[in-house]
């Protein structure tokens, strides 16, 4: 008879998990607080809609571009060392953002903060996947971790509204305080690094630079398309794709690739990452539209906006409580697909928005969306890391984070382009409705892609675990 204690994390396990979850909560809340603060930042620093989105995009693209390098650094240099070092950098540059008096200073500080998150996050996630053995304990730890991450992403909008009502600079200063507390706790709880299992080789800086440059150019192309001539758009598009092609060539030829391309041979892993990209990209795009609609069209204050979006934070409760039971009962795949379908339903409901909509009319969208996020986020995290060798857990975590961040930037870029391209400086109701088609389309694509593998045989390169959460039964 199985030992009923095999799924217990223990007091030390919980202490470690809460510290690492606190870091991912910090990362999530740091991103989403920006959404509510953007109108106030624009008013004080005089930024256009196109430049405003870079406050978010600079962070997520730096994050997504360097996270694979961060994953490898965690594997080779030590997970604890990387976690503590880059949490410190995160703290310092978040503070710099709060002191910015020019838009470009703010964007630069966000870019460096994103790099810090790119090294800190895969280190933290790989500490979990190497500390807790594969099975019930790791599943429980990952679902709690992902639930708290999703909660931070959602609660950031509430917190951002409250802090911005005081001064938008507190959106940057509050993470400094939280990071300082987490840093002190991490020094005591994060275990010392064992000898790295992969000691040979170096770091693929060329790969990191080409990947980041390619993603930056692609997002820049989308954002600027409504404002520049077609030849300029074509030029930046070709340059971005060329840099991504350079990235692939570098990875094939270097002895120490940033991304072992063989890892992508598993259709399960690819579907999980596409689903993650669509889930977060749609959510960030929707948040941008909803905040501008409430604050700039309806005239709601930052506090009112934050409180209106507060219900989205319920996934912090649902993800670690309801989702594990559903995953155990139905498997990752069904839960992920249902989550993405519910996201599409939520965005469809919001397409009916009116110039004088009551909060009661918005509430069904917010409630449906928080359930959708709670169902999809955690199982996608498991699917993207389960069955991966211990020495490549940092890499797999990095691939997943790249998908999350590039999806965020791309979703925001497309929504921004639609708003700018269909308005004469000030977006109206029809512009917001058109922009809402972007997150709707992304959620539909995510649902179709993740559902497409439901009846296929598992990849020979994929995981072989037979646990209920196993990705071979999931996606």
The answer to the question of residue 25 being in a domain is: yes
Residue 443 has pLDDT above 50, yes or no: yes
Residue 66 has pLDDT above 60, yes or no: yes
Same domain for 377 and 356? yes
Residue 310 has pLDDT above 60, yes or no: yes
The answer to the question of residue 266 being in a domain is: yes
Confidence class of residue 424 from pLDDT cuts 50, 70 and 90? Answer: low
Same domain for 419 and 283? yes
d(CA 77, CA 311): 41
Q: 114 lies in which domain range?
A: 12-191
- The CA-atom distances, in angstroms, between 50 and each of 225, 277, 321, 412, 436 are 10, 22, 39, 10, 17
Angle at 301 between CA 411 and CA 443, to 5 degrees: 20
d(CA 146, CA 140): 10
Dihedral angle at the C-alpha atoms of 269, 271, 273, 275, nearest 10 degrees? -150
Residue 339 has pLDDT above 60, yes or no: yes
Q: Containing H/E element for 427?
A: none
Residue 36 has pLDDT above 90, yes or no: no
Count of domains forming the chain:
3
Helices (H) and strands (E) in the chain, counts: 17, 0
**Number of Cα atoms under 13 Å in the Cβ half of residue 238:** 6
Reading the block at residue 290, the tokens are 């909803």
Confidence class of residue 8 from pLDDT cuts 50, 70 and 90? Answer: low
Q: What CATH number corresponds to the domain at position 89?
A: 1.20.1250.20
Percent residues over pLDDT 90 in the chain: 29
Same domain for 389 and 248? no
Q: What is the DSSP letter of 195?
A: P
Q: Containing H/E element for 48?
A: none
Is the whole-model pTM more than 0.85?
A: no
What is the per-residue pLDDT across 140-167, written as a single tens digit (0 to 9) for each?
788 788 778 767 766 777 788 888 888 9
The answer to the question of residue 24 being in a domain is: yes
Question: Pick from 157, 450, 150: which is nearest to 278 by CA?
Answer: 450
The answer to the question of residue 6 being in a domain is: no
pLDDT value at residue 394: 62
What is the per-residue pLDDT across 241-280, written as a single tens digit (0 to 9) for each?
999 999 999 988 888 787 888 877 778 788 889 999 999 9
Q: Which region among 73-87, 220-234, 437-451 has the lowest average model confidence (pLDDT)?
A: 220-234
Q: How many CB atoms lie within 10 A of CB 202?
A: 10
Mean pLDDT of 349-370: 92
Same domain for 21 and 164? yes
Same domain for 430 and 445? yes
Residue 463 has pLDDT above 50, yes or no: no
Residue 350 has pLDDT above 50, yes or no: yes
Same domain for 175 and 250? no
Same domain for 340 and 244? no
pLDDT value at residue 474: 46
Same domain for 66 and 48? yes
Q: What is the DSSP letter of 466?
A: -
pLDDT value at residue 135: 73
Question: Pick from 372, 347, 346: which is nearest to 433 by CA?
Answer: 347
pLDDT value at residue 239: 94
Which comes out higher in pLDDT, residue 64 or 104? 104
Which comes out higher in pLDDT, residue 52 or 300? 300
Confidence class of residue 375 from pLDDT cuts 50, 70 and 90? Answer: very high
Mean pLDDT of 355-379: 91
pLDDT value at residue 458: 44
Which comes out higher in pLDDT, residue 465 or 96? 96
pLDDT value at residue 345: 97
Question: Pick from 158, 147, 155, 154: which is nearest to 375 by CA?
Answer: 147
The answer to the question of residue 474 being in a domain is: no
Residue 127 has pLDDT above 70, yes or no: yes
Q: For all residues of the chain together, what is the average pLDDT?
A: 83
- The CA-atom distances, in angstroms, between 154 and each of 20, 62, 64, 148 are 18, 21, 20, 10
Question: Pick from 131, 181, 184: which is nearest to 25 by CA?
Answer: 181
296-335 core/surface letters (b: 16 or more CB in 10 A; e: else): bbeebebbbbbbbbbbbbbbbebbbebbbebbeeebbbbb
Residue finishing a domain among 191, 226, 241? 191
The answer to the question of residue 200 being in a domain is: no
Angle at 263 between CA 261 and CA 269, to 5 degrees: 125
pLDDT value at residue 112: 94
The segment with the largest mean pLDDT, out of 191-205, 223-237, 367-381, 418-432, is 367-381
Same domain for 241 and 384? no
Residue finishing a domain among 168, 191, 214? 191
Reading the block at residue 237, the tokens are 């598009």
Same domain for 90 and 220? no
Three-class SS string for 213-281? HHHHHHHHHHHHCCCCCHHHHHHHHHHHHHHHHHHHHHHHHCCCCCCCHHHHHCHHHHHHHHHHHHHHH
Place of tokens 């990947």: 211
Confidence class of residue 425 from pLDDT cuts 50, 70 and 90? Answer: low
Confidence class of residue 202 from pLDDT cuts 50, 70 and 90? Answer: low
The answer to the question of residue 462 being in a domain is: no
pLDDT value at residue 462: 40
Same domain for 96 and 53? yes
Residue 230 has pLDDT above 80, yes or no: yes
d(CA 189, CA 18): 10
- CB of 252 within 8 A of CB of 261? yes
pLDDT value at residue 255: 80
The answer to the question of residue 5 being in a domain is: no
pLDDT value at residue 286: 93
Same domain for 281 and 249? no
Percent residues over pLDDT 70 in the chain: 88
Q: Containing H/E element for 342?
A: helix 332-350
Q: Concatenate the DSSP letters of all residues of 121-135 into one string.
A: HHHHHHHHHHHSPTT
Q: How many CB atoms lie within 10 A of CB 444?
A: 18
Mean pLDDT of 173-186: 93
Residue finishing a domain among 191, 215, 233? 191
pLDDT value at residue 95: 92
pLDDT value at residue 1: 40
């Amino acid at each position: 008879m199985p030992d009923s204690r095999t799924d217990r994390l223990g007091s030390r396990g919980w202490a470690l998990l809460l510290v690492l979850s606190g870091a991912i909560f910090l990362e999530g809340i740091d991103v989403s607080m920006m959404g509510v603060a953007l109108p106030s930042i624009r008013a004080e620093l005089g930024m256009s809609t196109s430049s405003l989105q870079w406050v978010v995009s600079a962070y997520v693209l730096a994050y997504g571009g360097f996270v694979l390098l961060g994953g490898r650094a965690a594997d080779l240099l030590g997970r604890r060392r990387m976690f503590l070092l880059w949490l410190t950098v995160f703290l310092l540059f978040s503070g710099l953002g709060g002191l910015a008096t020019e838009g470009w200073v703010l964007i630069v500080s966000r870019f460096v903060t994103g790099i810090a998150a790119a090294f800190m996050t895969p280190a933290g996630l790989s500490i979990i996947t190497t500390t807790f053995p594969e099975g019930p304990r790791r599943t429980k730890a990952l679902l709690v971790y992902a639930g708290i991450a999703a909660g931070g992403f959602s609660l950031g909008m509430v917190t951002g509204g409250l802090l911005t009502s005081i001064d938008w600079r507190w959106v940057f200063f509050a993470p400094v305080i939280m990071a300082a507390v987490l840093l002190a706790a991490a020094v005591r709880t994060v275990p010392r690094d064992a000898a790295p299992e992969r000691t040979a080789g170096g770091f693929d800086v060329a790969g990191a630079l080409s990947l980041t440059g390619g993603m930056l150019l692609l997002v820049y192309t989308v954002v600027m398309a409504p404002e520049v001539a077609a030849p300029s758009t074509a030029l930046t598009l070709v340059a971005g794709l060329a840099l991504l092609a350079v990235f692939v060539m570098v990875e094939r030829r270097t002895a120490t690739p940033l991304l072992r391309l063989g890892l992508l041979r598993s259709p399960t892993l690819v579907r999980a990452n596409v689903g993650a990209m669509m889930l977060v990209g749609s959510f960030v795009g929707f948040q941008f539209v909803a905040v501008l609609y409430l604050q700039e069209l309806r005239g709601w204050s930052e506090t009112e906006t934050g409180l209106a979006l507060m219900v989205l934070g319920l996934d912090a409760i649902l993800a670690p409580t309801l989702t594990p039971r559903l995953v155990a009962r139905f498997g990752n795949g069904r839960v992920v697909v249902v989550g993405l379908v519910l996201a599409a339903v939520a965005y469809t409901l919001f397409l009916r928005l009116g110039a004088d909509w009551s909060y009661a009319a918005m509430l069904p969208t917010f409630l449906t969306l928080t359930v959708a996020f709670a169902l999809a986020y955690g199982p996608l995290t498991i699917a993207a890391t389960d069955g991966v060798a211990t020495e490549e857990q940092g890499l797999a975590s990095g691939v997943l984070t790249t998908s999350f961040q590039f999806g965020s930037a791309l979703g925001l870029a497309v929504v921004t382009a639609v708003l700018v391209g269909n308005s004469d400086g000030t977006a109206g109701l029809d512009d917001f409705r058109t922009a809402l088609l972007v997150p709707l389309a992304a959620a539909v694509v995510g649902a179709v892609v993740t559902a497409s593998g439901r009846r296929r045989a598992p990849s020979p390169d994929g995981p072989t675990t037979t646990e209920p959460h196993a990705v071979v039964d999931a996606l």
